[in-house]
Structure 1
């Protein structure tokens, strides 16, 4: 989706010299009309982009689903550029046929066991067996990025994710996929748990802290993934956790038990970073603090 300036909006700005009292009302009327037409145009672009992307994501072949996911990811990045388009996207997610999260879990993030042929009844029937190609690594990574974007732009998408057992699905992906998918999985976990007690409870129930701690402790794991785990723990403590209230009331104790007192104290102190920094500075601070967490673990 490309949010270009509409042709009809050109030349409608009223010069200050002509802004007399008797011309204020026509100028306001023209401005209201332009704003209304712009909103309608952008809404059509939003719905068209969603329908096109979701159609490909529902396809039987992985390469088509990858194309659809790339389109949706590009679309979400465009939506994030303004509050008005974010609001329009949120409106579309109240319509079942345009909801993104359910399609992700029904296709790209679907359990491979769902594709196992249980019987051969189709051989003796008239209906052909529909076989869907398994999700590639690239497809899973893109689907996780789209899931992350949806939950960050539209918090109610986390509710839809919970309905599709998102935490269970992601906790199955984390220990079994490659570094790229694992990194995307950690980012998606933060997004779906943010302000979502239900997903936080599921994360605790599926021993999510233990899985992340196992990765960050293992020196054989890719260094970038270990850093991503460090960032995950910092964000979990600093932004997701309910600050000693359920459902993650024991998260500090869990980290202390799994990573040791020194590393746990460092994570807690470092998680309070950046409240007065701009986004770029906060990101830099996050990387630095995650590096310190890894170094504290490697010393022992």
Structure 2
């Protein structure tokens, strides 16, 4: 989906020399702005309905197509405050909510598919069979989840209702490096300013799982670096918040990774908030590598 400016709205901001024409021009401008907003909302709802229809499909390749469409849509939405607000409004409508569809389909755990009875054998209706989620599908679903939670804070509440932390920690424990890395990014987004999800993370022994990955030298180096970035972001977020559900995370990291690495993580998590996003990302990569090097020395 591409949220382009309507061709008929061009020229509205041209300078007007005649004072008598200001009032009609203002009225026309308001009308055009209203029409433009309605057009954008129709595009938002159409893109969501189309993407969600495929994301609910029985076949993985259709779900992947739907997830790619939604992810492209979210990137387009993020370009302006107007479209972000329209997307947030759309998420108050149950049939347009993205997060529940993710957990009911692509992120649905396979154990949920256990057949409880054999009534379909004796009936005339065929049994509905849903193809399992592929690695690529899970990774895409996690990216969509991350985008939804970053653009719409209430999506973290929806994620909590679907036991998101438990599902994501299971992915970290059982899936491959591709899904694990994306999963760590999604974990950051759903725990941001969400006490409920932070408490779930603590209850699932999330720090222990991440610490185990970063300590294991047999694990892919890129994944270990991603674990380092995750810990840096986590520590940076809870610093100075004594009432945070994860206020004891410093002690947990010290216990799991040792005093030296824990101190380095704490100090590195203070990297300048005044940096622009690109510099901040580069600093995060550098500090994560230093954390990894400190662990590999012992």
TM-score normalized by structure 1? 0.97
Residue by residue, what CA displacement relative to the aligned partner does 1:228-256 show, whole Å, maximum 9, x if unpaired?
00000000011256723231021000000
Task: After TM superposition, list the pairs within 5 Å mapping 1:13-92 onto structure 2.
Answer: 13-16=13-16, 18=17, 20-92=18-90
Q: 1:30 to 1:240 in 2, by over 3 A?
A: farther
Residue 13 of structure 1, CA deviation: 3.6
Q: Does the 8 Å contact 1:274/1:281 carry over to 2?
A: no
Alignment length (residue pairs): 298
Task: Using the TM superposition, name which of 207-216 and 246-255 deviates more.
Answer: 246-255
Q: Does the 8 Å contact 1:190/1:236 carry over to 2?
A: yes
User: In structure 1, what is the Cα distance between the partners aligned to 2:11 and 2:214?
Assistant: 58
Q: Secondary structure at the match of 2:3?
A: coil
Residue 144 (structure 1) aligned with residue 142 (structure 2):
yes
Q: Does the 8 Å contact 1:274/1:282 carry over to 2?
A: yes
Residue 99 of structure 1, CA deviation: 0.2
Unaligned runs of 5+ in 1: none
Where does residue 9 of structure 1 map in the other structure? 9
User: In structure 1, what is the Cα distance between the partners aligned to 2:234 and 2:45?
Assistant: 34
Q: Secondary structure at the match of 1:155?
A: coil
Q: Which of 237, 240, 243 lines up with 1:239 in the alignment?
A: 237
Residue 133 of structure 1, CA deviation: 0.4
Q: Does the 8 Å contact 1:115/1:131 carry over to 2?
A: no
Q: Does the 8 Å contact 2:238/2:246 carry over to 1?
A: no
Q: Which of 181, 185, 191 lines up with 1:187 in the alignment?
A: 185
Q: Secondary structure at the match of 2:173?
A: coil
Structural RMSD (CA): 1.1
Q: Does the 8 Å contact 2:59/2:131 carry over to 1?
A: yes
Task: After TM superposition, list the pairs within 5 Å mapping 1:1-300 onto structure 2.
Answer: 1-16=1-16, 18=17, 20-239=18-237, 243-300=241-298
Unaligned runs of 5+ in 2: none
Task: Using the TM superposition, name which of 184-193 and 27-36 deviates more.
Answer: 27-36
User: In structure 2, what is the Cα distance between the partners aligned to 1:274 and 1:150?
Assistant: 27
